[in-house]
Amino acid sequence: MPLPPFAAAIFDMDGLLIDSERATLRAWTEAALALGVVLHESDYLQVVGKAAQDSHAILQRHLGGAAPFEQAMAAVRAALEEGEGRELRFPLKPGAAALLAQLQAAGIPCAVASSSRTDEIAHRLARVGVLPHFAAVAGGNEVLRGKPDPALYALAAARLGVDPDRCLAFEDSHNGACAALAAGMGLVVVPDLLQPAPEVAQSCLAVLGSLQEALPRVPQWFASTVPRDSR
Protein backbone atom coordinates (compact mmCIF):
# COMPACT_ATOMS: atom_id res chain seq x y z
CA MET A 1 0.00 0.00 0.00
CA PRO A 2 1.33 3.49 -0.81
CA LEU A 3 2.43 5.65 2.10
CA PRO A 4 1.89 9.35 2.85
CA PRO A 5 2.10 12.13 1.99
CA PHE A 6 -0.87 11.97 -0.39
CA ALA A 7 -2.05 14.62 -2.86
CA ALA A 8 -5.82 13.98 -2.85
CA ALA A 9 -8.60 12.46 -0.74
CA ILE A 10 -11.42 10.27 -2.04
CA PHE A 11 -14.44 9.53 0.14
CA ASP A 12 -17.20 6.97 0.13
CA MET A 13 -20.54 8.56 1.05
CA ASP A 14 -23.11 6.28 2.72
CA GLY A 15 -22.06 5.26 6.20
CA LEU A 16 -18.93 7.40 6.03
CA LEU A 17 -19.84 11.02 5.24
CA ILE A 18 -23.55 10.68 5.99
CA ASP A 19 -25.35 8.54 8.54
CA SER A 20 -27.57 6.64 6.11
CA GLU A 21 -26.88 2.93 6.51
CA ARG A 22 -28.86 2.36 9.71
CA ALA A 23 -31.94 4.14 8.40
CA THR A 24 -31.70 2.20 5.13
CA LEU A 25 -31.26 -1.11 6.97
CA ARG A 26 -34.33 -0.37 9.08
CA ALA A 27 -36.38 0.58 6.02
CA TRP A 28 -35.48 -2.64 4.19
CA THR A 29 -36.17 -4.91 7.17
CA GLU A 30 -39.55 -3.25 7.72
CA ALA A 31 -40.45 -3.43 4.03
CA ALA A 32 -39.49 -7.11 3.91
CA LEU A 33 -41.48 -7.89 7.05
CA ALA A 34 -44.57 -6.29 5.49
CA LEU A 35 -44.20 -8.89 2.72
CA GLY A 36 -43.88 -11.72 5.22
CA VAL A 37 -40.09 -12.04 4.82
CA VAL A 38 -37.57 -11.78 7.65
CA LEU A 39 -34.53 -9.89 6.35
CA HIS A 40 -31.78 -10.28 8.90
CA GLU A 41 -29.10 -7.64 9.45
CA SER A 42 -26.52 -10.15 8.23
CA ASP A 43 -28.49 -10.46 4.97
CA TYR A 44 -28.47 -6.70 4.43
CA LEU A 45 -24.78 -6.38 5.27
CA GLN A 46 -24.01 -8.39 2.13
CA VAL A 47 -25.09 -5.42 -0.01
CA VAL A 48 -23.34 -2.60 1.87
CA GLY A 49 -20.86 -0.86 -0.40
CA LYS A 50 -21.90 -2.74 -3.52
CA ALA A 51 -23.21 -1.17 -6.73
CA ALA A 52 -26.97 -1.01 -7.15
CA GLN A 53 -27.20 -3.81 -9.71
CA ASP A 54 -25.29 -6.18 -7.44
CA SER A 55 -27.13 -5.27 -4.25
CA HIS A 56 -30.50 -5.49 -5.99
CA ALA A 57 -29.71 -9.01 -7.19
CA ILE A 58 -28.82 -10.08 -3.64
CA LEU A 59 -31.98 -8.54 -2.17
CA GLN A 60 -34.13 -10.15 -4.86
CA ARG A 61 -32.85 -13.55 -3.79
CA HIS A 62 -33.62 -12.86 -0.14
CA LEU A 63 -37.08 -11.47 -0.90
CA GLY A 64 -38.11 -14.25 -3.26
CA GLY A 65 -37.99 -12.64 -6.70
CA ALA A 66 -38.33 -9.47 -8.75
CA ALA A 67 -41.97 -8.69 -7.87
CA PRO A 68 -41.56 -8.64 -4.06
CA PHE A 69 -38.26 -6.80 -4.48
CA GLU A 70 -39.97 -4.02 -6.47
CA GLN A 71 -42.69 -3.75 -3.80
CA ALA A 72 -40.10 -3.50 -1.06
CA MET A 73 -38.03 -1.00 -3.04
CA ALA A 74 -41.05 1.29 -3.45
CA ALA A 75 -41.70 1.13 0.30
CA VAL A 76 -38.05 1.86 1.09
CA ARG A 77 -37.95 4.86 -1.24
CA ALA A 78 -41.09 6.27 0.33
CA ALA A 79 -39.70 5.77 3.84
CA LEU A 80 -36.39 7.45 3.01
CA GLU A 81 -37.63 10.26 0.77
CA GLU A 82 -35.87 13.55 1.49
CA GLY A 83 -37.68 16.19 -0.52
CA GLU A 84 -37.43 19.89 0.25
CA GLY A 85 -39.08 20.66 3.56
CA ARG A 86 -38.97 17.03 4.67
CA GLU A 87 -37.05 15.66 7.63
CA LEU A 88 -33.29 15.36 7.10
CA ARG A 89 -32.91 11.58 7.36
CA PHE A 90 -29.23 11.38 6.44
CA PRO A 91 -27.21 13.82 8.60
CA LEU A 92 -23.45 14.28 8.38
CA LYS A 93 -21.32 11.90 10.40
CA PRO A 94 -19.17 13.37 13.20
CA GLY A 95 -16.05 15.09 11.93
CA ALA A 96 -17.04 15.05 8.25
CA ALA A 97 -17.58 18.79 7.84
CA ALA A 98 -14.46 19.70 9.84
CA LEU A 99 -12.25 17.27 7.90
CA LEU A 100 -13.47 18.50 4.52
CA ALA A 101 -12.91 22.11 5.60
CA GLN A 102 -9.39 21.31 6.79
CA LEU A 103 -8.52 19.57 3.53
CA GLN A 104 -9.90 22.49 1.54
CA ALA A 105 -7.83 24.94 3.59
CA ALA A 106 -4.73 22.84 2.85
CA GLY A 107 -5.49 22.85 -0.87
CA ILE A 108 -6.11 19.09 -1.03
CA PRO A 109 -8.60 18.17 -3.80
CA CYS A 110 -11.40 15.83 -2.74
CA ALA A 111 -13.72 13.49 -4.62
CA VAL A 112 -16.57 11.11 -3.84
CA ALA A 113 -16.56 7.50 -5.03
CA SER A 114 -19.94 6.11 -4.00
CA SER A 115 -22.03 3.16 -5.13
CA SER A 116 -25.05 5.47 -5.08
CA ARG A 117 -26.20 7.16 -8.28
CA THR A 118 -24.55 10.48 -9.13
CA ASP A 119 -27.82 12.37 -8.75
CA GLU A 120 -28.37 10.84 -5.30
CA ILE A 121 -24.82 11.76 -4.28
CA ALA A 122 -25.29 15.38 -5.35
CA HIS A 123 -28.70 15.62 -3.65
CA ARG A 124 -27.64 14.12 -0.34
CA LEU A 125 -24.37 16.03 -0.05
CA ALA A 126 -26.05 19.30 -1.05
CA ARG A 127 -28.68 18.74 1.65
CA VAL A 128 -25.98 18.61 4.33
CA GLY A 129 -23.99 21.50 2.84
CA VAL A 130 -20.74 19.78 1.81
CA LEU A 131 -21.12 19.28 -1.94
CA PRO A 132 -18.96 22.36 -2.77
CA HIS A 133 -15.99 20.67 -1.07
CA PHE A 134 -15.76 18.07 -3.85
CA ALA A 135 -13.98 18.72 -7.13
CA ALA A 136 -15.25 15.43 -8.61
CA VAL A 137 -17.97 12.84 -8.09
CA ALA A 138 -18.04 9.24 -9.34
CA GLY A 139 -21.28 7.26 -8.93
CA GLY A 140 -22.08 3.59 -9.17
CA ASN A 141 -24.22 4.17 -12.25
CA GLU A 142 -21.12 5.28 -14.19
CA VAL A 143 -19.10 2.06 -14.06
CA LEU A 144 -19.71 -1.44 -15.39
CA ARG A 145 -18.52 -3.14 -12.20
CA GLY A 146 -19.14 -1.75 -8.75
CA LYS A 147 -17.21 -2.13 -5.51
CA PRO A 148 -15.20 -4.23 -4.62
CA ASP A 149 -14.00 -3.71 -8.21
CA PRO A 150 -11.59 -0.74 -8.32
CA ALA A 151 -13.26 0.95 -11.31
CA LEU A 152 -15.18 3.51 -9.23
CA TYR A 153 -12.09 4.67 -7.36
CA ALA A 154 -10.06 4.74 -10.57
CA LEU A 155 -12.72 6.97 -12.14
CA ALA A 156 -12.71 9.37 -9.19
CA ALA A 157 -8.90 9.66 -9.31
CA ALA A 158 -8.96 10.25 -13.05
CA ARG A 159 -11.49 13.05 -12.64
CA LEU A 160 -9.25 14.69 -10.07
CA GLY A 161 -6.26 14.26 -12.39
CA VAL A 162 -4.28 12.52 -9.61
CA ASP A 163 -2.59 9.12 -9.86
CA PRO A 164 -4.34 6.49 -7.68
CA ASP A 165 -1.22 5.86 -5.60
CA ARG A 166 -1.25 9.57 -4.65
CA CYS A 167 -4.81 9.31 -3.30
CA LEU A 168 -5.96 8.44 0.21
CA ALA A 169 -9.37 6.75 0.32
CA PHE A 170 -11.74 6.92 3.28
CA GLU A 171 -14.15 3.99 3.57
CA ASP A 172 -16.51 2.35 6.05
CA SER A 173 -17.38 -0.96 4.31
CA HIS A 174 -15.46 -4.10 3.42
CA ASN A 175 -16.41 -3.91 -0.27
CA GLY A 176 -15.38 -0.28 -0.49
CA ALA A 177 -12.09 -0.88 1.33
CA CYS A 178 -11.23 -3.73 -1.05
CA ALA A 179 -12.04 -1.49 -4.03
CA ALA A 180 -9.74 1.28 -2.81
CA LEU A 181 -6.89 -1.14 -2.12
CA ALA A 182 -7.34 -2.78 -5.53
CA ALA A 183 -7.13 0.67 -7.12
CA GLY A 184 -3.70 1.10 -5.51
CA MET A 185 -4.69 3.81 -3.04
CA GLY A 186 -3.86 4.44 0.56
CA LEU A 187 -6.75 3.57 2.86
CA VAL A 188 -8.33 4.75 6.10
CA VAL A 189 -11.29 2.78 7.44
CA VAL A 190 -13.99 4.32 9.63
CA PRO A 191 -16.31 1.37 10.39
CA ASP A 192 -20.07 1.93 10.46
CA LEU A 193 -22.18 -1.24 10.62
CA LEU A 194 -19.31 -3.71 10.59
CA GLN A 195 -15.70 -3.80 11.73
CA PRO A 196 -13.12 -4.39 8.96
CA ALA A 197 -11.86 -7.91 8.28
CA PRO A 198 -8.36 -8.56 9.68
CA GLU A 199 -6.77 -8.56 6.22
CA VAL A 200 -8.26 -5.12 5.50
CA ALA A 201 -7.26 -3.70 8.90
CA GLN A 202 -3.69 -4.85 8.29
CA SER A 203 -3.62 -3.17 4.86
CA CYS A 204 -4.74 0.33 5.84
CA LEU A 205 -3.08 3.32 7.45
CA ALA A 206 -5.60 3.49 10.29
CA VAL A 207 -8.93 2.24 11.59
CA LEU A 208 -10.67 5.21 13.21
CA GLY A 209 -13.70 5.59 15.45
CA SER A 210 -14.88 8.63 13.47
CA LEU A 211 -13.69 11.13 10.90
CA GLN A 212 -13.05 13.48 13.81
CA GLU A 213 -10.02 11.35 14.65
CA ALA A 214 -8.54 12.09 11.22
CA LEU A 215 -8.23 15.84 11.88
CA PRO A 216 -4.88 15.83 13.71
CA ARG A 217 -3.42 13.43 11.11
CA VAL A 218 -4.04 15.63 8.05
CA PRO A 219 -0.57 17.29 8.18
CA GLN A 220 1.04 13.85 8.37
CA TRP A 221 -1.07 12.22 5.65
CA PHE A 222 -1.25 15.02 3.07
CA ALA A 223 1.22 17.28 1.30
CA SER A 224 -0.38 20.71 1.54
CA THR A 225 -0.52 22.70 -1.68
CA VAL A 226 -1.01 26.00 0.12
CA PRO A 227 2.17 28.15 0.07
CA ARG A 228 3.60 28.52 3.57
CA ASP A 229 3.46 32.32 3.52
CA SER A 230 -0.27 32.27 2.70
CA ARG A 231 -1.28 30.14 5.71
The terminus-to-terminus CA distance of the chain in angstroms comes to: 31
Is residue 188 within 8 Å of 214, Cβ to Cβ?
yes
The question of whether 43 is a catalytic residue gets the answer: no
Is residue 9 within 8 Å of 225, Cβ to Cβ?
no
Phi-psi region of 193 (alpha: psi -120 to 50; beta: other; left: phi over 0): alpha
The question of whether 14 is a catalytic residue gets the answer: yes
Angle at 89 between CA 40 and CA 28, to 5 degrees: 20
> What is the Cα–Cα distance from 222 to 227, expressed in whole angstroms?
14
3-state SS class at 21: helix
- Residue ranges with strand state E in 7-134: 8-11, 110-114
**Beta-bridge partner residues of 207:** 189
Residues identified as active-site: 12, 14
